[in-house]
Amino acid sequence: MSFIATRCWKILEKNRVEPSEQPPRCPTLNPSTDHLHIGRHAMVSSDVDLCSTMGKEILLRGGNAADASVTVALCVGSINSGSSGIGGGGFIVSSSNSTKKVLSIDAREMAPGMAYSSMFEKNPVLSVVGGLSNGIPGELKGLDVLFHTHGSGNLTWAEVIEPVIRLNRDGFECTLSLEVTIQALHDRYFTKIPDLAKSWDFIYNEDGSLKKVGQLVQRQNLARTLELVAQNGSSAIFYDPNGPIVPHLIEANNKWGGLFTSKDFALYETKVEDALSYKFGDLEVYTTSGISSGIVLIAGLNLYSKLQKATDASYLQIHKFIETMKWMASARTRLGDTRTSEEYQEIVSNYTSDSWSEDIRDNKYFDTQTFHWSHYDPLFQTSESHGTTHFSVLDDQDNGVGMTSTVNLLFGSIVYDPITGVILNNEMDDFSTKSYNNSFQLQPSKFNTVQPYNRPLSSAAPTIIMENGIPIFLVGAAGGSRITTAVLQAIMRVFNFNSDLLSAIANPRLHHQLLPNYVLLENITLTSEELGYGVLEQLEGLGHTFQETGVETTMNAIHRVRDTIHGVADFWRKFGEADGY
């Protein structure tokens, strides 16, 4: 069995953690219960403990899940700015107990009007760094829609933003996650393109050194931008071509070769529709629709539920799960913003149907072997997002919100506007470019090509599971093409294999996306121990191969367990913590 060395121990060595201690950014089979948070009324689970607490405080002030989500999203985007922020976008699934509606809110970034299909063919790196890689940000518009559609009405727009304004103005302690990403930003980009570093301010100390853990980080410019948004009563000022924000974003974008115009911001809208739903035993699964990968998650639930048998040996359970992941990857290749609404509905109907999953079970799946990638009938696509975050919120009125937000890769495009404090995304890399595999090594797709005002395909799949109309499980993940398989694993571990939430999040995960043609494992040693002696060898006998990759996803979740609410954030991969009461 050949594999590359895990990054866990490289980070362990770098941060000088004693081997006897739990290494940072590593899955574990023995998670400490210190990271299981239990409440009776409400819970917030996010990548940043301070932001989870800030969301809880909004709930204690009379706000609901939608109100708290605005605060949490802006807080995480301020502190873990290498992953998300108002210069990016995201997807939201929100359930309202009073209206009995579950909505999908698409706040995905949009290609500017001057974008064209071949814009990255000669120089693909421009889809990753610089102005051409920027899409029109959507996060603030999505949060605006969430707040004004499902908010409690007890708190104003300004009141849910004000704590984050104060956070940025007064400053916060640099986290280990932020230190690591700042160092990576410097090493990967600023040493090669020094001019890029000149506009960045908040990552440096007065002596010019980079911020380290525990040092004060202040983002005064972002605080002023958020104050303008708060005073406006909505996100409209952020998109106003004649307002105080858009001209600066256009200037920063154009300075680095981008195509932004004022018209692009004026035309940006979120897409709001009923969430996708799927009956999963006695439970109802809700997830995001449209250009997200919610339907891919549903396809996985549909197929695995047909393949699984209670009598399966361990190796066969994993074999069936890997085969399910391959068919999920195939399903994703059929998505893209060039699809018509009628074509999309046909896709939804197909992957939610028993006929699709039963045909695979009866004719295309075998207990005895796996297959060449072409067996799974992919059309291929690019994939996205490593700099991503997810959070979940459940309030005491049985409202739930899950949001997956991103600026795409580490610190997005590395284009930072010091006037507004906004870091612009590089979501244009998520479109397909002919003869070019993007950051997650998947192939191009004709359904996901660059076109003016289109949105790139996303792997996001924030999910709410309900029982008798009450949210009992909220989950989502970060990690690009690995998101849907991670979420599927969490759901299967809890509902099919009776795992507690702590273990479901902390234990190592696996992933397959057809190409490259091997199973990715976070930690082969731990996975072998978890599955049992000889299981990986049995799987190799069926034709599977394995590569160890280290940490590739982070996942945050909430589970209602009888009369308590359990919250677990992915401390083992991104140092997150939940908080509730």
pLDDT tens digit sequence for 219-265: 999 999 999 999 999 999 999 999 999 999 999 999 999 999 999 99
Q: Across-strand partners of 555?
A: 477
Query: Does the annotation place 406 within a ligand binding site?
Result: yes
How far is residue 380 CA from its own chain's centroid? 21
What does the alpha-carbon distance between residue 188 and residue 196 come to, in Å, rounded to a whole number? 11
| b/e map 195-205, b = 16+ CB within 10 Å | ebbeebebbee
Tell me phi and psi for residue 463, to 5 degrees: -135, 140
Residue that wins the pLDDT comparison between 481 and 45: 45
How far is residue 147 CA from its own chain's centroid? 20
Say if CB 404 and CB 478 are below 8 A apart.
Answer: yes
Dihedral angle, C-alpha 308, 313, 314, 317, nearest 10 °: -20
Q: Is the pLDDT of residue 25 over 90?
A: no
DSSP 8-state code for residue 562: T
Query: Does the annotation place 573 within a ligand binding site?
Result: no
The pLDDT tens digits of the residues spanning 442-461 come to 556 789 999 999 999 999 99
- Percentage with pLDDT > 70 across the chain: 93
Query: Does the annotation place 430 within a ligand binding site?
Result: yes
**Three-state SS for 106?**
strand
The pLDDT tens digits of the residues spanning 302-347 come to 999 999 999 999 999 999 999 999 999 999 999 999 999 999 999 9
The pLDDT tens digits of the residues spanning 118-177 come to 999 999 999 999 999 999 999 999 999 999 999 999 999 999 999 999 999 999 999 988
Q: Is the pLDDT of residue 214 over 50?
A: yes
- Percentage with pLDDT > 90 across the chain: 86
Query: Does the annotation place 357 within a ligand binding site?
Result: no
Q: Is the pLDDT of residue 16 over 80?
A: no
pTM: 0.94
What does the alpha-carbon distance between residue 270 and residue 78 come to, in Å, rounded to a whole number? 22
Instruction: Give the per-residue pLDDT at 550.
Output: 80
Tell me phi and psi for residue 380, to 5 degrees: 70, 150
Instruction: Give the per-residue pLDDT at 443.
Output: 56
Query: For 581, how many CA atoms within 13 A lie in the half-sphere containing its CB?
Result: 12
Q: Is the pLDDT of residue 13 over 50?
A: no
pLDDT mean over 16-28: 53
Q: Is the pLDDT of residue 439 over 60?
A: no
Q: Which of 328, 314, 320 is nearest to 381 (CA)?
A: 328
Q: Across-strand partners of 197?
A: none
Say if CB 170 and CB 289 are below 8 A apart.
Answer: no
What does the alpha-carbon distance between residue 83 and residue 404 come to, in Å, rounded to a whole number? 11
Handedness of CA 289, 135, 66, 239 (dihedral sign): negative
Query: Does the annotation place 96 within a ligand binding site?
Result: no
Number of helical (H) and strand (E) elements in the chain, helices listed first: 20, 21
Q: Give me the residue spans of the domains in the chain.
A: 1-11+33-171+218-580
Instruction: Give the per-residue pLDDT at 445.
Output: 73
pLDDT mean over 397-417: 96
Query: For 542, how many CA atoms within 13 A lie in the half-sphere containing its CB?
Result: 24
What does the alpha-carbon distance between residue 7 and residue 552 come to, in Å, rounded to a whole number? 10
Instruction: Give the per-residue pLDDT at 386.
Output: 57
Query: Does the annotation place 408 within a ligand binding site?
Result: yes
Q: Which two tokens stand for residue 388?
A: 């991503």
What does the alpha-carbon distance between residue 332 and residue 350 come to, in Å, rounded to a whole number? 13
How far is residue 15 CA from its own chain's centroid? 26
**Three-state SS for 97?**
coil
Active site residues: 388
Q: Which two tokens stand for residue 525?
A: 């040693």
Confidence tier at 432 by pLDDT (50, 70, 90): confident
Instruction: Give the per-residue pLDDT at 545.
Output: 96
pLDDT, the chain, mean: 92
How many beta carbons lie within 10 A of that of residue 169, not counting itself?
15
Instruction: Give the per-residue pLDDT at 19.
Output: 33
Residue 459 CA: distances (Å) to CA of 61, 285, 381, 404, 493: 34, 17, 11, 10, 21
Q: Which two tokens stand for residue 34?
A: 């210190």
DSSP 8-state code for residue 485: H
Confidence tier at 4 by pLDDT (50, 70, 90): very low
The pLDDT tens digits of the residues spanning 278-303 come to 999 999 999 999 999 999 999 999 99
What does the alpha-carbon distance between residue 479 and residue 386 come to, in Å, rounded to a whole number? 5
Q: Which two tokens stand for residue 562?
A: 């009888």
Say if CB 108 and CB 403 are below 8 A apart.
Answer: no
Q: Look at domain 1-11+33-171+218-580 and name its CATH class.
A: alpha beta
Task: Give 3-state DSSP helix, strand, coil % of the chain, rounded to 5.
Answer: 40, 20, 40
Query: Does the annotation place 459 within a ligand binding site?
Result: yes
Say if CB 123 and CB 402 are below 8 A apart.
Answer: no
Say if CB 464 and CB 490 are below 8 A apart.
Answer: no
Strand residues in 459-575 grouped as ranges (E) = 463-467, 470-478, 510-511, 519-521, 546-548, 554-561, 564-568
Long-range contacts for 496-502 (Cβ within 8 Å, ≥24 apart)? 496/308, 500/36, 500/566, 501/36, 501/557, 501/559, 501/561, 501/566, 501/568, 502/31, 502/33, 502/35, 502/36, 502/566, 502/568
Strand residues in 410-550 grouped as ranges (E) = 415-417, 422-424, 463-467, 470-478, 510-511, 519-521, 546-548
Query: Does the annotation place 2 within a ligand binding site?
Result: no
Say if CB 196 and CB 190 are below 8 A apart.
Answer: yes
Residue 238 CA: distances (Å) to CA of 425, 456, 539: 16, 22, 52
Q: Which residues, at least 6 apart from 18, have a Cβ–Cβ distance to it below 8 Å? A: none
Say if CB 455 and CB 110 are below 8 A apart.
Answer: yes
Q: Is the pLDDT of residue 381 over 90?
A: no
